[in-house]
Structure 1
């Protein structure tokens, strides 16, 4: 294990150092902005750059740590040496994952230490400013990049594909999944009153309710009017309005759920990678490739007078 640690550090030390510097600078920018933000009317530029690091850190890990890990060995054909008789592909990958994956999680924790905002009041806009969430994103990006690198066998292609798939996963999480980790709370108000929504709650949906207190759609007659409420009240279709929301006290629970989802996806991706690697899928050369390699490895015999004379006699 010590040998794998030393080898991993020697091979990836510059990438690790550059990424660690980026993570620490981003964390410092967010923390310093969060502490001193009360003096500003808007977020300083340092905090903005820190937020950009926070939003893109998982993709950076996937593109520059995970994607080249196996893809470079296959593209440059150095896996003949790396995966020798003493070190199997699975053992080699396990050592890399333990070292690089562990470092990615630690740096993710650092990136999520601040959110660039001040004040004790929580906000749903600070969702990704969590060490747990950023650690999950970093581990997910790393696992995704490793699998894509094994399948593509080309570093540049693996980097581009990792960025595309990671962005897609994050978009699906944010747009379709995150708001529904728990059933929404609903606040209903009749026409004589207004909907009561707790402070800092995340509003999911709003509309009209019928006599059975279930949502009813906006009628064609009222659609497009400047004040549809008056139209819906006059039509007797609805008896009031409603708002679906997630209370702010669920913020930490949702962050834990998102971390668990990222960790489970990453574990599944790594399991698939190890399974493919053990079976040889995606990296063992085919019979035709082995035949071409053996033919290329045979050096032509140089013709000499003695050889020519022997061939003539034969």
Structure 2
């Protein structure tokens, strides 16, 4: 910023508009327009990019590289599955066409399971990394160094400055994580669930599919920005952001099974219960004459003892199985993503409120 900028009003004019040596000459409109543009939204976006281009550039470049790696991995996985006719097969499968494929499934998992888990882990950890290395320093570094005072003495108000600081990183984060999520979903179509043994309901699988990584990435940015604004210390803000993201992601993980009603299937007392491989089983056990539900641990019946007598003793009349079928995957994902985005929006609103109270 130049000294001229400090005297400009929001429309780029000021007391020196008549020409006092701040332009190229008396009444120099070109000089005023050049200075005024520095405080326009376009100018603020350029300033934010200049300040954070290293982190934003690494995020974009890393996302592009990961997308290429995912495409190559998908091609290799698809070739292996097609060559051995493994689509829909698992190590223990009741599908007749999968008979005799256990060895090939084991070879597939040995070759590609670790790569798939690495991709999942990267998408699950990415939101916390965005919060720590992009969100937390976004405001805290300027508040700590005092450089925000220079910007706020210009015609840029504090709320407009915060909006500009958030807008460009949010767009980059949205583009990068959306692209990565789309590539991973494309990869998952080939090797997810049965063949790889990494199911949609696992912690890593659910956290890396669909809108989930995108929503958490924006949450990480919001958490980091707010902690930086509150603490005004870069390192402390980074540490608190990491802790907050661990707590928030863990809390939503615990809440996840209850976002939709489970599907309950009932069986006869002696019937064998087996859920599909792609179902998320949350509970199973026995039902009694009184309607109570008992797990095997509750009853204490031992298979090597008189199991039938134990069932009679507890007046068992049937069995139950609680599960989320694979059809619940995307509704669960969108519900959780919506809740996460609501939290991110609330934290962003708090950040703007704090900025307005502290800096007018």
Give the TM bin, normalised by the shorter chain: 0.7 to 0.9
Q: For 1:202 and 1:265, how far apart are their aligned partners in 2?
A: 26
Deviations 1:158-202 (A, max 9, x none): 11111111011111111x211111100111112231235345111
Name 1:267's counterpart in structure 2. 345
- Following TM superposition, by how much is the alpha carbon of 1:237 offset from its aligned partner in structure 2, in angstroms? 3.0
Residue 14 of structure 1: aligned partner: 54
Report the more deviating stretch, 78-87 or 12-21: 78-87
Which residue among 69, 73, 89 is the counterpart of 1:29? Answer: 69
Taking a change above 3 Å as real, the CA distance of residues 249 and 53 of structure 1, as seen in their structure-2 partners, is same
1:3 aligned to 36, 43, 46, which one?
A: 43
Q: 1:84 aligns with which of 153, 162, 171?
A: 153
**Pairing partner for 1:133 from 189, 204, 212:** 212
Q: Is the 8 A contact 1:59 1:163 kept in 2?
A: yes
Residues 1:101 and 2:167 aligned together: no
Q: Please tell me whether the aligned partners of residues 301 and 311 of structure 2 are also in contact (alpha carbons under 8 angstroms).
A: no
Counterpart CA distance in 2 for 1:19 and 1:194 is 50
- Give 1:135 deviation, angstroms: 1.1
Q: CA deviation at 1:49?
A: 3.4
Q: Give me the whole-angstrom Cα distance separating, in 1, the residues matched to 2:280 and 2:71.
A: 25
Distance in 1 of aligned mates of 2:171 and 2:121: 23
- Kept in 1, the 8 Å contact 2:210–2:333? The answer is no
Over 3 Å counting, the alpha-carbon distance change for 1:28 and 1:205 in structure 2 is farther
1:242 offset after TM fit, Å?
1.2
Q: For the Cα contact (< 8 Å) 1:204–1:244, is it kept in 2?
A: yes
Aligned length: 280
Q: Deviations over 1:230-288 (max 9, x none)?
A: 464131332222110001011111111121111101000000010011001xx79xxxx
**1:289 aligned residue:** none
Q: In the TM superposition, what is the alpha-carbon distance from 1:150 to its structure 2 partner?
A: 1.1
For 2:114 and 2:277, how far apart are their aligned partners in 1? 28
Could you tell me how far apart the structure 2 residues matched to 1:150 and 1:273 are?
A: 7
Please state how far the C-alpha of 1:101 moved relative to its aligned partner. 0.9
> What's the CA shift for 1:10?
0.9
Matches within 5 A, 1:234-313: 234-280=312-358
* Matches of 1:230 and 1:270, distance apart in 2: 59
Partner of 2:270: 192
8 Å CA contact 2:222, 2:344 repeated in 1: yes
Q: 1:26 to 1:128 in 2, by over 3 A?
A: farther
Does 1:206 pair with 2:284? Answer: yes
* Structure 1: 5+ residue stretches without partners: 285-314
Q: Secondary structure at the match of 2:286?
A: strand
Secondary structure at the counterpart of residue 108 of structure 2: coil
Q: Which residue matches 1:53? A: 122
1:118-176, CA deviations, whole angstroms, 9 ceiling, x for partnerless residues?
Answer: 538764243233342221011010001001111111111111111111011111111x2
Distance 2:61 2:316 in 1: 58
Alignment TM-score, normalising by the size of structure 1: 0.81
